[in-house]
Structure 1
């Protein structure tokens, strides 16, 4: 296989889906302004994205190697390309729901396929960790690009303007071009085949059995809580900037790019950092840093007054300080994923990724819905203060995750996990 071409294709797929998946916060802001949708009603867009991810992953992850990772990626790209084209053609809240539903279905196919393909091309654990961090870092570059791409099409002088919908022609074209690249890239998927032939029911049962391993239980719960926090902040930060920090609509979206930029920088550098340091102290430091940023930044949001002439130079300091939480969040997700996946034989990567995607999707929906409800009932400050609860639980779960790794209690497929491996 041409490893570099395959990696480029995988990174580009993740870049495109990063823009689509993390546009939820921006779209929530725009449907509130354009269609008069309430905050609690708009928050269901996260569910339209995440619940299909969980459901489709649950249904297909165990036997996706039989279908083929390349075919799954192509199907996902074709689906979202068509869905994006519908947004400007049929502008409505219902179309936005359909878009995120299609995006969720497609991402379930894509993420399981991409993660599993990383396992096929990586030669050892260190290379796997490096590729995983680069992949997730490139994902955050896509998120960062999304804020500026959408911000370019938003008309701040007319909140009800439909000009922002034109961005979906660009996104549809990007999906189509990525489809062509994947179609013309050769993939060798023989190593993903299970060692023993079995039925679809047996493949599905094998995936469910993974969940009952102590290490896997701790892993998926930690991933659930992490994504809950990341999506709660990422989805509602544009609205927080607009309503609490009194920034214009376009600037509210663009300032949120600092959060995405911090996640991108953190993940791209995490691969280098974690090759030199043990993953556990790095994770603990990151979790404590997340809590510290919440406690430092949110008190600075009080007393902000509306200023029609606000600029980047005159924006409240909290607008720049709070997004720095992304630097500390960044290494956690790819770090625990690499520890888990590199402990499994390659034919189990698809099933394990399926469980990861399911609980990540449920975490994203839970975070968005809870934050949206609290945001509407109380205010954005209280909603973001609540992230301290899952942050504290993650700190505890990391202890049990390390303990399971060190004792080999995550024994899968008949072979114990070696102590301290990352």
Structure 2
């Protein structure tokens, strides 16, 4: 395999899906304006995206090596190309739901395949951690691009305008180009091969057995809570900027790009940190920083007065301060993922990633639904203050995760502990 070309394709695929997946906050704001959908009604878009990710990952992750990682990524790209093309052709809330359902199905195939391919081309744990952080950094660059790309097509002067739907022609073209590049690239997947004498049912049973091991349980709970917080903030920040900070619609979306930029910078730089420092103190410092930013920034969002001549230079300071929470969030997800995956044999990466994707998806949906409900029935301030609860639990879970991982490094191999062998 030509490693650099494959890495470029993996980064490009993640970039494309980052735009599609994390447009949900912007799309929620637009369907509220365009289709008269309530906040709680619009919040179901997160579920249409995340629940298919969880279900498809649960069903296919264990035997995806038999189907082929390259074939799975090609299928995912084909699905989102068709779904993106449908958005401007058949505008409506139902089409929007179907778009995110298709994006969820496709991302389940893609994420398991991309994470597993990283295991195939990495030579050691440090390189695995570096690639993982860089990959997630590119994902956040895609998220950052999404806010500006969608913001460019949004007509702030006419909230009812459907000009924003034209962005999907651009996205469909990007997906199609990535499909063609991947199709022309050879993959060597023999290291991920599963035992030939094992049935599909046995493959599925092996994945389920992973979940009942203490180390894996702690890991997936930690990932679930982290994604819950990240999606709560990322999905509802445009609406928070628009309704609480009184920013214009397009500017509300564009200011949210600061959050994505902080996640991108944090993850791209985390690879350097993780090569020099122990992962556990880095993770703890990040979680404490997240809590500190919530307590520091949210009090500044009260009593904001509507300014008809608002501009970037006249925006409330909280609009720029609160998104900095992304700097502290950034290293946590790729960090714990790399520690977990690099402890396993390469042919178990697909099953383990399947569990990770399932609980990440459930965490994203749970966070969006809870935040949407609290935002609509109480206040945006209370909705974001509520993130302090899962942040505190993540800090506790990291301690148990480290204890479990260290239990595998003191004379034992983590993969042996997971499989029940000593």
TM-score between both structures, scaled by the size of structure 1: 0.97
Contact 1:58 1:354 in 2 (8 A): yes
Contact 1:213 1:412 in 2 (8 A): no
* Structure 1 residue aligned with 2:20: 20
The CA distance in 2 between the partners of 1:414 and 1:29, in whole Å, is 48
* Structure 1 residue aligned with 2:84: 84
Gaps of 5+ in 1: 418-422
- Structure 1 residue 249 corresponds to structure 2 residue 249: yes
Contact 2:210 2:418 in 1 (8 A): no
* Structure 2 residue aligned with 1:153: 153
Deviation by residue 1:317-373 (Cα, 9 ceiling, x = unmatched): 000000000000000000000000000000000000000000000000000000000
- Structure 1 residue 55 corresponds to structure 2 residue 46: no
SS at match of 1:414: helix
What is the Cα deviation at residue 230 of structure 1? 0.4
Aligned length, in residue pairs: 417
What is the Cα deviation at residue 416 of structure 1? 7.2
Contact 1:213 1:411 in 2 (8 A): no
SS at match of 1:185: coil
Contact 1:57 1:354 in 2 (8 A): yes
* Structure 2 residue aligned with 1:402: 402
The CA distance in 2 between the partners of 1:415 and 1:396, in whole Å, is 22
* Structure 2 residue aligned with 1:420: none
* Structure 1 residue aligned with 2:69: 69
* Structure 2 residue aligned with 1:185: 185
What is the Cα deviation at residue 194 of structure 1? 2.1
What is the Cα deviation at residue 196 of structure 1? 5.5
For residues 22-421 of structure 1, the aligned pairs below 5 Å read: 22-195=22-195, 197-408=197-408, 413-414=415-416
Contact 1:18 1:143 in 2 (8 A): yes
SS at match of 2:360: helix
SS at match of 1:313: helix
The CA distance in 2 between the partners of 1:387 and 1:59, in whole Å, is 31
TM-score between both structures, scaled by the size of structure 2: 0.97
Contact 2:343 2:413 in 1 (8 A): no
The CA distance in 2 between the partners of 1:283 and 1:153, in whole Å, is 38
Deviation by residue 1:74-127 (Cα, 9 ceiling, x = unmatched): 000000000001000010000000000000000000000000000000011100
Contact 2:153 2:164 in 1 (8 A): yes
Gaps of 5+ in 2: none
Contact 1:191 1:347 in 2 (8 A): yes
Deviation by residue 1:224-254 (Cα, 9 ceiling, x = unmatched): 0000000000000000000000000000000
Contact 2:259 2:325 in 1 (8 A): yes
After the TM superposition, list the runs of 4 or more consecutive aligned residues in structure 1 that deviate by more than 6 angstroms. Answer: none
The CA distance in 2 between the partners of 1:92 and 1:194, in whole Å, is 44
What is the Cα deviation at residue 197 of structure 1? 2.9
The CA distance in 2 between the partners of 1:414 and 1:334, in whole Å, is 23
Contact 2:215 2:418 in 1 (8 A): no
The CA distance in 2 between the partners of 1:91 and 1:232, in whole Å, is 26
